[in-house]
Structure 1
Amino acid sequence: MTPDQYCQDKAASSGSSFYYSFLFLPRHRRRAITALYAFCREVDDVVDDNRTPEVSRVKLQWWKDEIDRLFDAQPQHPVTQALQSAITGFDLPREYFIEIIDGMEMDLEQHRYATFKELSLYCYRVASVVGLLSAEIFGYRDRHTLKYARDLGLAFQLTNILRDVGEDARRGRIYLPQEDLQRFGVRETDLLQGQESAGFYQLMAFEAQRAREFYQRAHAHLPDTDRRAQRAGLIMSRIYERLLDELEKDGFHVLTRRINLTALAKLWLAGTTVWHERRRWRRAPPDREQSR
Protein backbone atom coordinates (compact mmCIF):
# COMPACT_ATOMS: atom_id res chain seq x y z
CA MET A 1 0.00 0.00 0.00
CA THR A 2 1.38 3.40 -0.95
CA PRO A 3 1.31 6.37 1.46
CA ASP A 4 -1.38 8.03 -0.67
CA GLN A 5 -3.52 4.88 -0.59
CA TYR A 6 -3.11 4.67 3.19
CA CYS A 7 -4.37 8.25 3.56
CA GLN A 8 -7.22 7.66 1.12
CA ASP A 9 -8.37 4.60 3.08
CA LYS A 10 -8.11 6.54 6.34
CA ALA A 11 -10.26 9.35 5.00
CA ALA A 12 -12.83 7.13 3.28
CA SER A 13 -13.31 4.80 6.26
CA SER A 14 -14.00 7.69 8.64
CA GLY A 15 -17.25 8.64 6.90
CA SER A 16 -16.44 12.27 7.69
CA SER A 17 -18.19 15.16 6.00
CA PHE A 18 -14.76 16.41 4.97
CA TYR A 19 -14.27 13.44 2.64
CA TYR A 20 -17.18 14.52 0.42
CA SER A 21 -15.72 17.98 -0.08
CA PHE A 22 -12.43 16.50 -1.29
CA LEU A 23 -14.11 14.78 -4.24
CA PHE A 24 -14.45 18.03 -6.19
CA LEU A 25 -10.82 19.18 -5.89
CA PRO A 26 -8.10 18.95 -8.53
CA ARG A 27 -5.99 15.85 -8.04
CA HIS A 28 -2.88 17.48 -6.54
CA ARG A 29 -4.93 19.45 -4.02
CA ARG A 30 -7.07 16.40 -3.22
CA ARG A 31 -3.95 14.34 -2.45
CA ALA A 32 -2.61 17.06 -0.15
CA ILE A 33 -5.84 17.67 1.77
CA THR A 34 -6.44 13.93 2.14
CA ALA A 35 -2.97 13.53 3.66
CA LEU A 36 -3.67 16.44 6.03
CA TYR A 37 -6.99 14.91 7.07
CA ALA A 38 -5.32 11.53 7.64
CA PHE A 39 -2.76 13.22 9.89
CA CYS A 40 -5.55 14.81 11.94
CA ARG A 41 -7.27 11.44 12.26
CA GLU A 42 -4.06 9.75 13.39
CA VAL A 43 -3.33 12.18 16.21
CA ASP A 44 -6.99 12.37 17.24
CA ASP A 45 -7.13 8.59 17.46
CA VAL A 46 -4.15 8.63 19.82
CA VAL A 47 -6.32 10.40 22.40
CA ASP A 48 -9.64 8.67 21.69
CA ASP A 49 -8.34 5.10 21.38
CA ASN A 50 -5.96 5.07 24.37
CA ARG A 51 -7.36 4.83 27.87
CA THR A 52 -3.99 5.58 29.50
CA PRO A 53 -2.98 9.26 29.32
CA GLU A 54 0.70 8.39 29.78
CA VAL A 55 0.66 6.18 26.68
CA SER A 56 -1.14 8.88 24.70
CA ARG A 57 1.45 11.47 25.73
CA VAL A 58 4.27 9.24 24.56
CA LYS A 59 2.53 8.68 21.22
CA LEU A 60 1.81 12.38 20.73
CA GLN A 61 5.45 13.17 21.45
CA TRP A 62 6.37 10.62 18.79
CA TRP A 63 4.19 12.55 16.35
CA LYS A 64 5.90 15.82 17.28
CA ASP A 65 9.24 14.16 16.58
CA GLU A 66 7.80 12.81 13.34
CA ILE A 67 6.87 16.34 12.27
CA ASP A 68 10.51 17.30 12.80
CA ARG A 69 11.54 14.36 10.64
CA LEU A 70 8.96 15.38 8.02
CA PHE A 71 10.41 18.87 7.73
CA ASP A 72 13.90 17.34 7.60
CA ALA A 73 12.69 15.22 4.65
CA GLN A 74 12.99 11.98 6.65
CA PRO A 75 9.38 10.96 7.45
CA GLN A 76 8.74 7.42 8.70
CA HIS A 77 4.94 7.14 8.82
CA PRO A 78 2.82 6.68 5.66
CA VAL A 79 0.83 9.83 6.50
CA THR A 80 3.88 12.05 6.82
CA GLN A 81 5.39 10.44 3.73
CA ALA A 82 2.24 11.46 1.86
CA LEU A 83 2.48 14.94 3.39
CA GLN A 84 6.04 15.41 2.12
CA SER A 85 5.04 16.82 -1.26
CA ALA A 86 2.25 18.91 0.32
CA ILE A 87 4.48 20.83 2.72
CA THR A 88 6.84 21.78 -0.08
CA GLY A 89 4.21 22.30 -2.79
CA PHE A 90 1.93 24.45 -0.62
CA ASP A 91 4.48 25.89 1.84
CA LEU A 92 2.70 24.51 4.91
CA PRO A 93 4.14 25.83 8.22
CA ARG A 94 5.66 23.34 10.67
CA GLU A 95 4.22 25.21 13.68
CA TYR A 96 0.66 24.55 12.53
CA PHE A 97 1.15 20.79 12.77
CA ILE A 98 2.62 21.15 16.25
CA GLU A 99 -0.31 23.36 17.23
CA ILE A 100 -2.75 20.60 16.21
CA ILE A 101 -0.90 18.08 18.38
CA ASP A 102 -0.90 20.59 21.26
CA GLY A 103 -4.68 20.72 20.90
CA MET A 104 -4.88 16.94 21.18
CA GLU A 105 -2.74 17.11 24.32
CA MET A 106 -5.31 19.47 25.84
CA ASP A 107 -7.76 16.56 25.77
CA LEU A 108 -5.41 14.65 28.08
CA GLU A 109 -5.06 17.49 30.55
CA GLN A 110 -8.33 19.41 30.46
CA HIS A 111 -11.83 17.93 30.56
CA ARG A 112 -13.67 21.14 31.53
CA TYR A 113 -13.63 24.71 30.22
CA ALA A 114 -14.58 27.54 32.54
CA THR A 115 -15.24 30.12 29.82
CA PHE A 116 -15.80 30.32 26.09
CA LYS A 117 -12.43 32.07 25.83
CA GLU A 118 -10.75 28.94 27.22
CA LEU A 119 -12.71 26.73 24.82
CA SER A 120 -11.78 28.99 21.91
CA LEU A 121 -8.08 28.16 22.34
CA TYR A 122 -8.88 24.45 22.12
CA CYS A 123 -11.08 25.00 19.05
CA TYR A 124 -8.39 27.11 17.42
CA ARG A 125 -5.76 24.41 17.85
CA VAL A 126 -7.79 21.40 16.75
CA ALA A 127 -9.95 23.04 14.07
CA SER A 128 -9.05 26.61 13.08
CA VAL A 129 -5.43 25.66 12.43
CA VAL A 130 -6.66 22.83 10.21
CA GLY A 131 -8.73 25.43 8.38
CA LEU A 132 -5.68 27.63 7.89
CA LEU A 133 -3.67 24.71 6.50
CA SER A 134 -6.59 23.81 4.24
CA ALA A 135 -6.77 27.37 2.92
CA GLU A 136 -3.12 27.12 1.91
CA ILE A 137 -3.82 23.88 0.05
CA PHE A 138 -6.97 25.16 -1.66
CA GLY A 139 -5.29 28.43 -2.64
CA TYR A 140 -6.17 32.10 -2.10
CA ARG A 141 -5.32 35.61 -3.25
CA ASP A 142 -6.81 37.74 -0.49
CA ARG A 143 -5.56 37.34 3.09
CA HIS A 144 -9.09 37.91 4.37
CA THR A 145 -9.59 34.28 3.33
CA LEU A 146 -7.44 33.27 6.29
CA LYS A 147 -9.95 34.92 8.63
CA TYR A 148 -12.66 32.95 6.84
CA ALA A 149 -10.73 29.70 7.35
CA ARG A 150 -10.09 30.44 11.03
CA ASP A 151 -13.72 31.24 11.86
CA LEU A 152 -15.09 28.40 9.75
CA GLY A 153 -12.88 25.92 11.59
CA LEU A 154 -14.18 27.22 14.90
CA ALA A 155 -17.77 26.92 13.69
CA PHE A 156 -17.13 23.31 12.63
CA GLN A 157 -15.67 22.43 16.02
CA LEU A 158 -18.56 24.02 17.90
CA THR A 159 -20.96 21.98 15.76
CA ASN A 160 -19.01 18.81 16.55
CA ILE A 161 -19.11 19.64 20.26
CA LEU A 162 -22.90 20.06 20.18
CA ARG A 163 -23.39 16.81 18.27
CA ASP A 164 -21.13 14.87 20.66
CA VAL A 165 -22.27 16.22 24.05
CA GLY A 166 -23.56 12.81 25.16
CA GLU A 167 -20.67 10.81 23.75
CA ASP A 168 -18.12 13.15 25.32
CA ALA A 169 -19.91 13.09 28.67
CA ARG A 170 -19.67 9.30 28.72
CA ARG A 171 -15.91 9.77 28.43
CA GLY A 172 -15.97 12.23 31.31
CA ARG A 173 -15.49 15.28 29.08
CA ILE A 174 -17.65 18.41 29.03
CA TYR A 175 -16.69 20.96 26.41
CA LEU A 176 -19.66 23.29 26.94
CA PRO A 177 -18.31 26.24 28.97
CA GLN A 178 -19.02 26.09 32.70
CA GLU A 179 -20.17 29.72 32.64
CA ASP A 180 -22.89 28.75 30.14
CA LEU A 181 -24.02 25.75 32.20
CA GLN A 182 -24.42 28.06 35.20
CA ARG A 183 -26.27 30.65 33.13
CA PHE A 184 -28.95 28.14 32.11
CA GLY A 185 -29.01 26.17 35.36
CA VAL A 186 -27.61 22.95 33.89
CA ARG A 187 -25.64 20.73 36.27
CA GLU A 188 -22.62 18.67 35.28
CA THR A 189 -24.27 15.59 36.75
CA ASP A 190 -27.18 15.98 34.34
CA LEU A 191 -24.81 15.73 31.38
CA LEU A 192 -22.75 12.92 32.87
CA GLN A 193 -25.90 10.90 33.64
CA GLY A 194 -27.56 11.63 30.30
CA GLN A 195 -30.49 13.51 31.84
CA GLU A 196 -32.03 16.49 30.07
CA SER A 197 -32.75 19.23 32.56
CA ALA A 198 -35.13 22.16 32.19
CA GLY A 199 -32.43 24.50 30.92
CA PHE A 200 -30.66 22.03 28.65
CA TYR A 201 -32.59 22.96 25.50
CA GLN A 202 -31.99 26.67 26.12
CA LEU A 203 -28.29 25.98 26.68
CA MET A 204 -27.99 24.04 23.43
CA ALA A 205 -29.98 26.63 21.49
CA PHE A 206 -27.64 29.33 22.81
CA GLU A 207 -24.54 27.37 21.76
CA ALA A 208 -26.05 26.60 18.35
CA GLN A 209 -26.67 30.30 17.76
CA ARG A 210 -23.06 30.99 18.71
CA ALA A 211 -21.93 28.45 16.10
CA ARG A 212 -24.19 30.05 13.47
CA GLU A 213 -22.65 33.44 14.20
CA PHE A 214 -19.21 32.01 13.45
CA TYR A 215 -20.51 30.57 10.18
CA GLN A 216 -21.86 34.01 9.31
CA ARG A 217 -18.60 35.71 10.26
CA ALA A 218 -16.61 33.23 8.21
CA HIS A 219 -18.68 33.75 5.07
CA ALA A 220 -18.54 37.51 5.51
CA HIS A 221 -14.73 37.30 5.44
CA LEU A 222 -14.52 35.25 2.23
CA PRO A 223 -13.79 37.47 -0.79
CA ASP A 224 -15.56 36.64 -4.04
CA THR A 225 -12.18 36.25 -5.73
CA ASP A 226 -11.41 33.23 -3.53
CA ARG A 227 -14.79 31.47 -3.51
CA ARG A 228 -13.85 29.17 -6.37
CA ALA A 229 -10.54 28.16 -4.83
CA GLN A 230 -12.20 27.61 -1.44
CA ARG A 231 -15.14 25.60 -2.78
CA ALA A 232 -14.23 22.57 -0.64
CA GLY A 233 -14.65 24.68 2.48
CA LEU A 234 -18.00 25.92 1.21
CA ILE A 235 -19.10 22.32 0.72
CA MET A 236 -18.05 21.44 4.27
CA SER A 237 -19.87 24.50 5.56
CA ARG A 238 -23.09 23.49 3.82
CA ILE A 239 -22.90 19.99 5.30
CA TYR A 240 -22.06 21.15 8.81
CA GLU A 241 -24.71 23.85 8.83
CA ARG A 242 -27.27 21.26 7.75
CA LEU A 243 -26.11 19.04 10.63
CA LEU A 244 -26.64 21.94 13.01
CA ASP A 245 -30.15 22.38 11.59
CA GLU A 246 -30.85 18.68 12.15
CA LEU A 247 -29.65 18.86 15.75
CA GLU A 248 -32.07 21.70 16.41
CA LYS A 249 -34.90 20.01 14.51
CA ASP A 250 -34.41 16.91 16.67
CA GLY A 251 -34.73 19.00 19.81
CA PHE A 252 -31.07 18.67 20.80
CA HIS A 253 -31.58 15.18 22.26
CA VAL A 254 -27.84 14.63 22.01
CA LEU A 255 -27.41 13.12 25.46
CA THR A 256 -29.06 9.89 24.38
CA ARG A 257 -28.43 9.72 20.64
CA ARG A 258 -26.00 10.89 17.99
CA ILE A 259 -27.38 12.70 14.96
CA ASN A 260 -25.58 12.15 11.67
CA LEU A 261 -26.32 12.94 8.05
CA THR A 262 -26.42 10.01 5.66
CA ALA A 263 -23.71 9.55 3.04
CA LEU A 264 -26.33 10.25 0.34
CA ALA A 265 -27.36 13.50 2.04
CA LYS A 266 -23.74 14.64 2.28
CA LEU A 267 -23.09 13.81 -1.35
CA TRP A 268 -26.26 15.66 -2.41
CA LEU A 269 -25.27 18.72 -0.38
CA ALA A 270 -21.79 18.64 -1.90
CA GLY A 271 -23.14 18.37 -5.43
CA THR A 272 -25.73 21.12 -5.04
CA THR A 273 -23.15 23.44 -3.47
CA VAL A 274 -20.85 22.96 -6.45
CA TRP A 275 -23.78 23.55 -8.83
CA HIS A 276 -24.75 26.81 -7.10
CA GLU A 277 -21.15 27.99 -6.98
CA ARG A 278 -20.68 27.25 -10.69
CA ARG A 279 -23.73 29.35 -11.52
CA ARG A 280 -22.20 32.13 -9.45
CA TRP A 281 -18.86 31.79 -11.29
CA ARG A 282 -20.58 32.05 -14.69
CA ARG A 283 -22.17 35.35 -13.67
CA ALA A 284 -18.84 36.74 -12.45
CA PRO A 285 -16.15 38.30 -14.70
CA PRO A 286 -13.58 35.80 -16.04
CA ASP A 287 -10.84 35.13 -13.51
CA ARG A 288 -8.02 32.64 -13.35
CA GLU A 289 -7.60 30.56 -10.19
CA GLN A 290 -4.32 31.02 -8.37
CA SER A 291 -2.79 29.79 -5.17
CA ARG A 292 -0.16 31.15 -2.88
Structure 2
Amino acid sequence: MNANESHCLQLLRDADPDRYLSVLYAPEEKRGALAALYGFNVEIARIRDLIHDPLPGEVRLQWWRDLINGTEHGEVVGNPVAAALLEAIKTYNLPRAAFDNYCEARIFDLYDDPMPSRNDLEGYCGETASALIQLASLVLDAEKAPAQADIAGHAGVAQAVTGLLRLLPLHRRRGQTYIPADILAAVGCSAEMLLEGTDKAAIKRAIDAMIALAEDHLGKYEAAAKSLPATLRAAYLPVGLTRMYLKKLKASGFDVANETPVVSPLRRQWTMLRASMRSA
Protein backbone atom coordinates (compact mmCIF):
# COMPACT_ATOMS: atom_id res chain seq x y z
CA MET A 1 0.00 0.00 0.00
CA ASN A 2 1.51 3.33 -1.06
CA ALA A 3 1.42 6.61 0.88
CA ASN A 4 -1.75 7.89 -0.82
CA GLU A 5 -3.61 4.68 -0.10
CA SER A 6 -2.39 4.68 3.50
CA HIS A 7 -3.74 8.20 3.87
CA CYS A 8 -7.13 6.99 2.62
CA LEU A 9 -7.13 4.13 5.09
CA GLN A 10 -6.38 6.48 7.98
CA LEU A 11 -9.14 8.80 6.77
CA LEU A 12 -11.57 5.90 6.88
CA ARG A 13 -10.46 4.88 10.34
CA ASP A 14 -11.59 8.26 11.65
CA ALA A 15 -14.54 9.09 9.37
CA ASP A 16 -16.04 5.74 8.32
CA PRO A 17 -14.97 3.02 10.76
CA ASP A 18 -17.37 0.40 9.37
CA ARG A 19 -15.89 0.54 5.88
CA TYR A 20 -12.43 0.80 7.41
CA LEU A 21 -12.96 -2.53 9.15
CA SER A 22 -14.27 -4.12 5.97
CA VAL A 23 -11.12 -3.11 4.07
CA LEU A 24 -9.02 -5.05 6.57
CA TYR A 25 -10.91 -8.23 5.64
CA ALA A 26 -10.15 -7.80 1.92
CA PRO A 27 -7.14 -9.40 0.22
CA GLU A 28 -4.06 -7.33 1.01
CA GLU A 29 -3.39 -6.38 -2.60
CA LYS A 30 -6.93 -4.96 -2.95
CA ARG A 31 -7.02 -2.87 0.22
CA GLY A 32 -5.42 0.24 -1.23
CA ALA A 33 -7.96 0.56 -4.04
CA LEU A 34 -10.87 -0.07 -1.68
CA ALA A 35 -9.55 2.54 0.74
CA ALA A 36 -9.30 5.02 -2.14
CA LEU A 37 -12.85 4.30 -3.24
CA TYR A 38 -14.26 4.70 0.27
CA GLY A 39 -12.04 7.72 0.91
CA PHE A 40 -13.61 9.38 -2.11
CA ASN A 41 -17.02 8.70 -0.56
CA VAL A 42 -15.92 10.40 2.67
CA GLU A 43 -14.65 13.45 0.79
CA ILE A 44 -17.93 13.87 -1.09
CA ALA A 45 -20.13 13.17 1.94
CA ARG A 46 -18.52 15.92 3.99
CA ILE A 47 -18.78 18.66 1.38
CA ARG A 48 -22.02 19.85 3.01
CA ASP A 49 -20.12 20.42 6.27
CA LEU A 50 -17.50 22.56 4.54
CA ILE A 51 -19.76 25.03 2.73
CA HIS A 52 -22.26 27.73 3.63
CA ASP A 53 -24.05 27.86 0.27
CA PRO A 54 -24.86 25.14 -2.29
CA LEU A 55 -22.96 26.73 -5.20
CA PRO A 56 -19.45 26.21 -3.76
CA GLY A 57 -20.49 22.63 -3.03
CA GLU A 58 -21.48 22.13 -6.64
CA VAL A 59 -18.10 23.56 -7.67
CA ARG A 60 -16.33 21.00 -5.47
CA LEU A 61 -18.43 18.19 -6.92
CA GLN A 62 -17.68 19.38 -10.45
CA TRP A 63 -13.95 19.36 -9.69
CA TRP A 64 -14.19 15.68 -8.78
CA ARG A 65 -16.29 14.92 -11.87
CA ASP A 66 -13.81 16.69 -14.14
CA LEU A 67 -10.88 14.97 -12.44
CA ILE A 68 -12.38 11.50 -12.88
CA ASN A 69 -13.40 12.17 -16.46
CA GLY A 70 -9.93 13.45 -17.33
CA THR A 71 -10.85 17.09 -17.99
CA GLU A 72 -9.44 18.62 -14.79
CA HIS A 73 -6.09 20.23 -15.53
CA GLY A 74 -5.11 20.95 -11.93
CA GLU A 75 -2.48 18.92 -10.15
CA VAL A 76 -3.61 16.19 -7.76
CA VAL A 77 -0.37 16.50 -5.81
CA GLY A 78 -1.41 17.39 -2.29
CA ASN A 79 -4.69 15.53 -2.62
CA PRO A 80 -3.84 11.93 -1.77
CA VAL A 81 -7.46 10.75 -2.03
CA ALA A 82 -7.73 12.06 -5.59
CA ALA A 83 -4.39 10.53 -6.56
CA ALA A 84 -5.26 7.16 -5.02
CA LEU A 85 -8.70 7.15 -6.65
CA LEU A 86 -7.33 7.85 -10.11
CA GLU A 87 -4.84 5.01 -9.67
CA ALA A 88 -7.62 2.64 -8.60
CA ILE A 89 -9.78 3.62 -11.56
CA LYS A 90 -6.88 3.02 -13.94
CA THR A 91 -5.72 -0.25 -12.35
CA TYR A 92 -9.17 -1.85 -12.15
CA ASN A 93 -10.75 -0.13 -15.16
CA LEU A 94 -13.60 1.18 -13.03
CA PRO A 95 -16.50 2.76 -14.98
CA ARG A 96 -16.15 6.53 -14.81
CA ALA A 97 -19.86 6.99 -15.54
CA ALA A 98 -20.66 5.41 -12.17
CA PHE A 99 -18.66 8.11 -10.39
CA ASP A 100 -20.34 10.81 -12.46
CA ASN A 101 -23.79 9.47 -11.56
CA TYR A 102 -22.71 9.27 -7.93
CA CYS A 103 -21.70 12.94 -7.90
CA GLU A 104 -24.90 13.92 -9.69
CA ALA A 105 -26.96 12.20 -6.99
CA ARG A 106 -24.93 13.88 -4.25
CA ILE A 107 -26.01 17.33 -5.46
CA PHE A 108 -29.20 16.66 -3.49
CA ASP A 109 -27.17 16.79 -0.24
CA LEU A 110 -26.23 20.41 -0.84
CA TYR A 111 -29.79 21.71 -0.79
CA ASP A 112 -32.72 21.55 1.62
CA ASP A 113 -35.28 20.36 -0.91
CA PRO A 114 -37.43 17.49 0.43
CA MET A 115 -37.01 14.01 -1.04
CA PRO A 116 -40.01 13.76 -3.41
CA SER A 117 -40.84 10.05 -3.36
CA ARG A 118 -39.78 6.56 -2.37
CA ASN A 119 -38.65 5.95 -5.94
CA ASP A 120 -36.44 9.03 -5.78
CA LEU A 121 -34.97 7.88 -2.47
CA GLU A 122 -34.25 4.40 -3.83
CA GLY A 123 -32.66 5.99 -6.89
CA TYR A 124 -30.47 8.19 -4.69
CA CYS A 125 -29.38 5.19 -2.63
CA GLY A 126 -28.76 3.17 -5.77
CA GLU A 127 -26.46 5.77 -7.32
CA THR A 128 -24.52 6.21 -4.06
CA ALA A 129 -24.36 3.30 -1.59
CA SER A 130 -25.26 0.57 -4.10
CA ALA A 131 -22.80 1.97 -6.63
CA LEU A 132 -20.02 1.91 -4.02
CA ILE A 133 -20.70 -1.76 -3.33
CA GLN A 134 -20.66 -2.57 -7.03
CA LEU A 135 -17.45 -0.59 -7.61
CA ALA A 136 -15.80 -2.34 -4.66
CA SER A 137 -16.96 -5.64 -6.14
CA LEU A 138 -15.26 -4.77 -9.43
CA VAL A 139 -12.03 -4.21 -7.54
CA LEU A 140 -12.36 -7.55 -5.79
CA ASP A 141 -13.47 -9.69 -8.74
CA ALA A 142 -14.23 -7.93 -12.02
CA GLU A 143 -15.37 -11.16 -13.66
CA LYS A 144 -18.06 -12.06 -11.13
CA ALA A 145 -19.17 -8.60 -9.99
CA PRO A 146 -21.51 -7.66 -12.89
CA ALA A 147 -23.85 -10.59 -12.25
CA GLN A 148 -24.49 -9.36 -8.70
CA ALA A 149 -25.89 -5.93 -9.58
CA ASP A 150 -29.35 -6.69 -8.17
CA ILE A 151 -27.89 -7.89 -4.87
CA ALA A 152 -25.77 -4.74 -4.66
CA GLY A 153 -28.89 -2.69 -5.35
CA HIS A 154 -30.87 -4.08 -2.43
CA ALA A 155 -27.83 -4.07 -0.13
CA GLY A 156 -27.05 -0.43 -0.85
CA VAL A 157 -30.62 0.77 -0.36
CA ALA A 158 -30.89 -1.07 2.96
CA GLN A 159 -27.56 0.31 4.11
CA ALA A 160 -28.22 3.88 2.95
CA VAL A 161 -31.76 4.17 4.33
CA THR A 162 -30.49 2.91 7.68
CA GLY A 163 -27.64 5.40 7.53
CA LEU A 164 -30.04 8.25 6.77
CA LEU A 165 -32.10 7.31 9.81
CA ARG A 166 -28.99 7.32 11.97
CA LEU A 167 -28.22 10.81 10.63
CA LEU A 168 -31.76 12.07 11.15
CA PRO A 169 -30.82 14.37 14.09
CA LEU A 170 -28.10 16.01 11.99
CA HIS A 171 -30.40 16.39 8.99
CA ARG A 172 -33.13 17.95 11.14
CA ARG A 173 -30.68 20.52 12.50
CA ARG A 174 -29.69 21.39 8.94
CA GLY A 175 -33.29 21.58 7.74
CA GLN A 176 -32.92 18.59 5.42
CA THR A 177 -35.61 15.99 4.78
CA TYR A 178 -34.59 12.62 3.33
CA ILE A 179 -37.80 10.82 4.31
CA PRO A 180 -39.81 10.93 1.07
CA ALA A 181 -42.87 13.17 0.82
CA ASP A 182 -45.12 10.27 -0.22
CA ILE A 183 -44.08 8.20 2.81
CA LEU A 184 -44.61 11.19 5.10
CA ALA A 185 -48.06 11.80 3.63
CA ALA A 186 -49.01 8.13 3.94
CA VAL A 187 -48.38 8.17 7.70
CA GLY A 188 -49.97 11.56 8.33
CA CYS A 189 -46.74 13.51 8.65
CA SER A 190 -45.05 16.28 6.66
CA ALA A 191 -41.58 17.73 6.17
CA GLU A 192 -42.51 20.70 8.35
CA MET A 193 -43.76 18.47 11.17
CA LEU A 194 -40.62 16.35 10.94
CA LEU A 195 -38.28 19.33 11.13
CA GLU A 196 -40.21 21.16 13.84
CA GLY A 197 -40.94 18.06 15.93
CA THR A 198 -44.54 19.13 16.46
CA ASP A 199 -46.17 15.68 16.35
CA LYS A 200 -44.08 12.94 17.97
CA ALA A 201 -46.54 10.17 17.07
CA ALA A 202 -46.53 11.14 13.38
CA ILE A 203 -42.73 11.39 13.33
CA LYS A 204 -42.43 7.96 14.90
CA ARG A 205 -44.74 6.53 12.22
CA ALA A 206 -42.48 8.07 9.57
CA ILE A 207 -39.41 6.56 11.22
CA ASP A 208 -41.14 3.17 11.42
CA ALA A 209 -42.02 3.37 7.72
CA MET A 210 -38.38 4.06 6.83
CA ILE A 211 -37.24 1.16 9.02
CA ALA A 212 -39.74 -1.08 7.20
CA LEU A 213 -38.35 0.09 3.84
CA ALA A 214 -34.80 -0.70 4.93
CA GLU A 215 -35.88 -4.10 6.28
CA ASP A 216 -37.62 -4.94 3.00
CA HIS A 217 -34.45 -4.36 0.98
CA LEU A 218 -32.27 -5.98 3.62
CA GLY A 219 -34.40 -9.12 3.57
CA LYS A 220 -34.11 -9.35 -0.21
CA TYR A 221 -30.36 -8.88 0.03
CA GLU A 222 -29.95 -11.50 2.77
CA ALA A 223 -31.98 -14.05 0.82
CA ALA A 224 -29.84 -13.56 -2.27
CA ALA A 225 -26.51 -13.20 -0.43
CA LYS A 226 -26.30 -16.96 0.15
CA SER A 227 -25.21 -17.33 -3.46
CA LEU A 228 -22.79 -14.40 -3.39
CA PRO A 229 -19.30 -15.41 -4.60
CA ALA A 230 -16.80 -15.54 -1.75
CA THR A 231 -14.44 -13.23 -3.63
CA LEU A 232 -16.98 -10.40 -3.37
CA ARG A 233 -17.89 -10.76 0.30
CA ALA A 234 -15.63 -7.98 1.58
CA ALA A 235 -17.62 -5.43 -0.44
CA TYR A 236 -20.76 -6.41 1.47
CA LEU A 237 -19.36 -6.65 5.00
CA PRO A 238 -20.54 -3.15 6.04
CA VAL A 239 -24.08 -4.18 5.09
CA GLY A 240 -23.77 -6.96 7.66
CA LEU A 241 -24.08 -4.31 10.38
CA THR A 242 -27.38 -3.00 9.04
CA ARG A 243 -29.71 -5.32 10.93
CA MET A 244 -27.95 -4.49 14.19
CA TYR A 245 -28.41 -0.78 13.51
CA LEU A 246 -32.08 -1.29 12.61
CA LYS A 247 -32.74 -3.09 15.89
CA LYS A 248 -31.22 -0.15 17.75
CA LEU A 249 -33.32 2.30 15.78
CA LYS A 250 -36.48 0.32 16.49
CA ALA A 251 -35.75 0.20 20.20
CA SER A 252 -35.16 3.97 20.33
CA GLY A 253 -38.52 4.92 18.80
CA PHE A 254 -39.13 8.67 18.48
CA ASP A 255 -35.78 9.42 20.15
CA VAL A 256 -34.13 8.59 16.80
CA ALA A 257 -35.25 12.04 15.64
CA ASN A 258 -33.12 13.73 18.29
CA GLU A 259 -30.21 11.43 19.03
CA THR A 260 -28.42 8.69 17.12
CA PRO A 261 -28.49 5.37 19.00
CA VAL A 262 -25.00 4.42 20.11
CA VAL A 263 -23.47 1.08 19.14
CA SER A 264 -20.13 0.35 20.78
CA PRO A 265 -17.05 -0.14 18.56
CA LEU A 266 -16.51 -3.55 20.13
CA ARG A 267 -19.98 -4.71 19.15
CA ARG A 268 -19.51 -3.43 15.61
CA GLN A 269 -16.19 -5.25 15.32
CA TRP A 270 -17.64 -8.47 16.69
CA THR A 271 -20.62 -8.31 14.33
CA MET A 272 -18.37 -7.80 11.33
CA LEU A 273 -16.06 -10.59 12.44
CA ARG A 274 -19.02 -12.96 12.60
CA ALA A 275 -20.16 -11.78 9.16
CA SER A 276 -16.70 -12.39 7.74
CA MET A 277 -16.64 -15.89 9.19
CA ARG A 278 -19.98 -16.68 7.59
CA SER A 279 -18.52 -15.39 4.36
CA ALA A 280 -15.48 -17.62 4.45
TM-score by length of 1: 0.86
From 100, 109, 112, the equivalent of 2:114 is 112
From 215, 219, 222, the equivalent of 1:219 is 222
* Distance change (3 Å), C-alpha of 1:222 and 1:145: farther
The equivalent of 1:65 in structure 2 is 66
Q: In the aligned structure 2, how far is the partner of 1:36 from the partner of 1:136?
A: 11
Taking the TM superposition and a 5 Å limit, the aligned residue runs for 1:11-90 are 11-69=12-70, 75-76=76-77, 77-90=79-92
Q: Secondary structure at the match of 2:25?
A: coil
Q: Is structure 2 residue 146 aligned with structure 1 residue 147?
A: no
Q: In the aligned structure 2, how far is the partner of 1:87 from the partner of 1:71?
A: 15
* Distance change (3 Å), C-alpha of 1:222 and 1:90: farther
From 102, 105, 126, the equivalent of 2:104 is 102
Q: In the aligned structure 1, how far is the partner of 2:246 from the partner of 2:104?
A: 27
Q: Deviations over 1:6-46 (max 9, x none)?
A: 21121111143211111111112211111001011112222
Range with greater deviation from structure 2 (1-10 or 236-245) = 1-10
Offset at residue 257 of structure 1 (A): 0.6
* Amino acid aligned to 1:16: P
The equivalent of 1:283 in structure 2 is none
Contact 1:141 1:225 survives alignment (8 Å)? no
The equivalent of 2:257 in structure 1 is 255
Contact 2:208 2:250 survives alignment (8 Å)? yes
Q: In the aligned structure 2, how far is the partner of 1:115 from the partner of 1:225?
A: 30
Q: In the aligned structure 2, how far is the partner of 1:58 from the partner of 1:71?
A: 12
* Distance change (3 Å), C-alpha of 1:163 and 1:115: same
Root mean square deviation of aligned Cα? 2.3
Between Structure 1 and Structure 2, the one with more helix by share is: 2
% same residue: 24
The equivalent of 1:7 in structure 2 is 8
Q: In the aligned structure 2, how far is the partner of 1:114 from the partner of 1:261?
A: 31
* Distance change (3 Å), C-alpha of 1:137 and 1:70: farther
Q: In the aligned structure 2, how far is the partner of 1:194 from the partner of 1:229?
A: 45
Contact 2:89 2:95 survives alignment (8 Å)? yes
Contact 1:69 1:75 survives alignment (8 Å)? no
Contact 2:112 2:177 survives alignment (8 Å)? no
The equivalent of 2:178 in structure 1 is 175
TM-score by length of 2: 0.89
Q: In the aligned structure 2, how far is the partner of 1:57 from the partner of 1:256?
A: 29
Which consecutive unaligned segments of at least 5 residues does structure 2 have? none
Q: In the aligned structure 2, how far is the partner of 1:274 from the partner of 1:247?
A: 24
Q: In the aligned structure 2, how far is the partner of 1:22 from the partner of 1:144?
A: 22
The equivalent of 1:230 in structure 2 is 232
Q: In the aligned structure 1, how far is the partner of 2:55 from the partner of 2:275?
A: 44
Q: Secondary structure at the match of 2:210?
A: helix
Superposition misfits of 4+ residues, deviation over 4 angstroms: none
From 175, 192, 200, the equivalent of 1:189 is 192
Q: In the aligned structure 1, how far is the partner of 2:200 from the partner of 2:227?
A: 44
Matched pairs, number: 276
Q: Deviations over 1:245-282 (max 9, x none)?
A: 1110122411211123221111111111222333xxxx
The equivalent of 1:268 in structure 2 is 270
